[in-house]
Structure 1
Amino acid sequence: MHDEGYPVAVQQLRGALSREFAGLIDMTDFPSAAPDLSRERAFLSRALAAKAVSLLTDRDPDEAAAAVIDGADDMGIDAVAFSIATPELWLIQAKWSDRGTAGISADDAHRLIHGLHLLTNLRYEDFNARFQHLAARVDDVLASPDCRIHLVLAVTGDGRLAPAAETVLTRSVAEFNDFGELVDFRSLALADFHAAVRQDVAPKRFSVTATMADGWVAMHQPYETYMGAIAADELAGWYEQHGERLYEGNVRRYLGMTRVNQELVGSLISDPDHFWYFNNGVTVLCDDVRPHYFARRTVGQPVRLELTNAQIVNGAQTAASAYHAFRQAPDATAQARVMLRVMCVKDAPDGLARSIAKASNTQNHVEPRDFVALAPEQALIREDFAHNLGKSYVYKRGELDPSPATGCSIVEAAIALACAHRDAGLVARVRADHDHLWRSGPDGAYSKLFGRRPTALQIWRSVQLTRAIGQALEDTSGTLSGRDRALIGPGSLLLNHIAFRLVGDDDIDEPGDAWQSRANAVAGRIGTIVPLLTRLLGDLYGERALLARVFSDETRCRQIAAAALDSLAAEGLPTLPVLTSPDHRLRPSRRRLSSVRLLVDHQRIEDGARLVFRTTTRPEEQALGDWLGEDPRRYLATWINDAAAPLIWAVDGARYSPSGLVMRIWQEAAWAEAPVAVQGPRCWVLPGEGTLVEIAEELMADGAAGSGDDVHGS
């Protein structure tokens, strides 16, 4: 091709792309007999998309070329790129023009938006074979509630959008962003690409200074090393001046405002004096260290270290978080101190710097779950599992999880109990941040799930139901397509929550067959709920709502769950005929009589007897005491010899099971921290004789229940 008459920038860019991506771009869909001009322009367009990937995500040429999916069935997307460390996705559409006049039309914009819509609905099968190699990574990004999607228009033109194309993109992006910032768009123009190929991309050497007050130490063998504290605002200044260049030697770049980094920023601002105690500090490798003393030239005296060619190999998140904290609260950040370790490795053997970087980032760290293992109730739950169920319960990280038939882990237990909780917002928080399961206090899930210690039977049944639901959803996914199938992954916790609400938890702690029969019935029909949720999502939030975002939002999960349960109640799903589970492990191995069943069968308490409610824990007393005292009828219930609902509440005259009435009292009293379930018979007292459990135990001791059965006290 003759270049005369074409812009110099285009000519230089063509040469750079040809050198950089020759042999890397897949051109196998162009037969050897294809016209040279057609083949070259297709190569240049694809190479332009690859160059955009390289500029946006700092990828090597071979990685950038592998991101190109241009060709038949690319659905308007020429390349798909990923962030190195954050849940971000770049969808690139590239247009090449030899004359430097390429642009994006309204039809091009529509095709790009259509491709975006297919991706967010997990319609991967509509894309070509090149995309399929990237599908798993796309899936990982879209599954994150923190997902961000960037639409990039890479053109050899001035980058200005035609009004019709800009209208299409602006309107569509606004629709996708109804639930918060999800999608944006930008252009990369000829000027951007030309500037990139002209500049020297080799890392520039630079220096930073670190000011250490008294107390620092130094070692000079085998490598010059300094350890001490610097002010957090000085560290922030490094990031402000040099940004990501600080991390060339780090195994991770800055991960963005993750939950952990938000906590780092919050700690720097709200409690700078204690930041030193809660942070592991920063490790820097450099080529040279020049100390400049303020007074005496003695180790431990105030000094400013000039670090040449400094690279942070551990502490990238701390440095960037210090910068963000400094922008919000400079005075507070200046008070905080950060541990700094500096090593001069210019004369070190080859590979030592990389080994130090790797070791600094791969040492074992303490997770929130590890602190939960110290809670006394976890050991008691393990004992309950062993003594009452003959099964294992593992709660320490590092221990081998038991096989599904022989027990469960604390992770399975916590997820199951979270799904069983009556607030659908809890599963949304867990979906957004798995560590929420282990947080205590008013805002944490751990107190709600384990604060009033659940029994082994309650946990085991809850785990068994989540397993059954998981298997049913996996079986169902093969029969679904489109948005129905896409919903199962991000919506699994909410689907489990809905299943638990349908089954109910009044008698989950009682070993009769009733609860398990209902659980089997709901698990057998859970697949029919998936299309219902898809329809409700469309009605409530539209078809472009990203599923990962919706199912991580507390308010929306509550709305969806309420709408689904209302619809299912109208369809009669909770009263479906009992189905028999093929899994014998879901069935109790031995029938035991519940307290209520035993009392009713033997007419131990007369119809019309008055029972009194009592609180059993201090938190419950603190939460309910005033509310109960406002109306004495709230304490009272009348006994009726009906095993299903033996209590008539004095407040409303309705009939309840003992556990069901306790849960109703908690609800009416608006106890926000109420446990997932309760051993109701332990909370109702027959004056002068004891609780329902105590009376049943006396009856059992007298042999009235027969020698073949034993009584369950809840």
Structure 2
Amino acid sequence: MADGVKPHELIQLCELLGARFGGKITGTGPDANAKQRNFYTKALAAYFLTQEAGATDEDAIHASIDGGQDHGIDSVYVDSTQTVWLIQSKYKDSGTGEVELAEVGKFVDGVKDLAKQKYERFNEHLQAKIPALNSAFDSGVAKVKAVLTYTGSALGDDKRRVMSDLEDALNLPADPSFLRFINFGLASFHRIQLGEHLPAPITAEVTLENYGHIDAPYLCCFGSITGVQLKSLKIEYGEKLFDANIRHFQGDTVVNQDISETIKNNPEHFFYFNNGVTFTCDVIRPIGPRDDTRSTGKFRVENLSVINGAQTVSSLAIDLDNECQERDVKVLATFIALDGDLEEFGSKVTRFRNNQNAVSDIDFAALDENQIQWAQTLQQSGVSYRYKSGELDQADFDVETAAKALACWASDSECNLVAQAKKDAKKLFSRVSGEELHSSTYHYLFKDSLQARQLCRIVQIHQLIRDSLRSDARQATGMDKEIAANSLMLLSHIVYLKTKQYIDYNDLKLSLAHSNIVRTTAQTITQTIIDEYKKVTWGKTPPSVFKNASDLKTLKGAVMAALANT
């Protein structure tokens, strides 16, 4: 990341803290910058307490003891369970790095003094909290959470060792869990901030006929469910019902046409013709009357999501009318209950269940937690990134556009990625080793280190280049027009090489000045590509040249040399 460029996660966090605590928390310091940093430091601790300790905004604000003689403790809060929350908060404007060892040491000393109830060593803000602290410590059930909140990206082993020593010192054999250290950096704050924007999980009641169950290794209930119930779920919860699925409704495909025809013409055969619907959930519980024959059973299902069968459910919602309902459409339904720590197993269920149908590599991008987080991060700033196929919203860009842009952005001296982006972009999502590209092309492009803002700006540049090229191609004629019309991926690759300094900026959107530079650069390089292309006898058409990595490497070399001489 370039010097002076904040992570977009920090920018979003600061916006939230300002909106939530502005005018309620007063920053102190010798100048405006110091006051702002102090405000964010206090607000950071308050936000943590509201999210992790269940404090109200007012209580979280009043928990602050920041100031002289705070002994490294910025906030003190006692909750209803007699848990004492001790917060050291550090706002780092860069969004990187870690807290100094000396600061952590000061915090440790302060925690020890409070545990010893040496209140006289602290400032007047702490004195007001003595009754609550004494009540907690005398309760016999008190716990202490020593929390380091900061907007950095790491915590070194030396600091962790100091906190581990503190735990060892204060956790006695009779009370081994009295104190626990919590490390809460920028990534943790971003996680809870994203969590605030997630919709509430679905809890529904369903009726299964002729049902059965498997208890181990995971609880699974299965049976037939009426199409009416599935239609009702889709109408009530909409696309949210498919949050865990790798794709949403695909529309008027051949498969979906067949589903629709069966619903309308042979609803009694639907159970036999259809693969059924698979749900995951956290918990499934029987409710109501118990039938020992298991001919009918009612269940309450928590955190429900369709992981396979979105096309079936959506088609039922569209095509199931009163006449079909009366003829009783039945569907095979499977409910798999996943414990909270079984996310990996849930992903495997989704992947393997969908592998039985026509699903491409691009669909499995929807299982990547990075994709989810990039989309949620951008959504907070008003940018819609569609990473699931079949979604119907008006996205600013989708995952396939992102893959093409990243293929052009990536280091690619042999032009393999550029050629693949032109030839068949869906193969950029390959996870199979031993191919001509990388062992995992998808993970090479969508790196764990890729930031949401970087992704957004890279795609914006690609879209500007595309729009500029379309304009140039409309004005060109003959061979020039055909060359330009096929050159987008190579053009983007070379423009990125010339404008890469415009990626790492604090702003999510390209400025007007940067956009104009990209357009001008693209126009210049487009003409250079046309000129250099026409100097070579290729013996093949432009589409073939721009899909061939070896030809692209030759053409790229000529274009770069020509640009260097201008």
Fold conserved between structures, TM > 0.5: no
Structure with more contact order per residue of length (Cα contacts < 8 Å, sep ≥ 6)? 2
Q: TM-score, normalised by structure 2?
A: 0.36
Larger radius of gyration: 1
Q: TM-score, normalised by structure 1?
A: 0.29
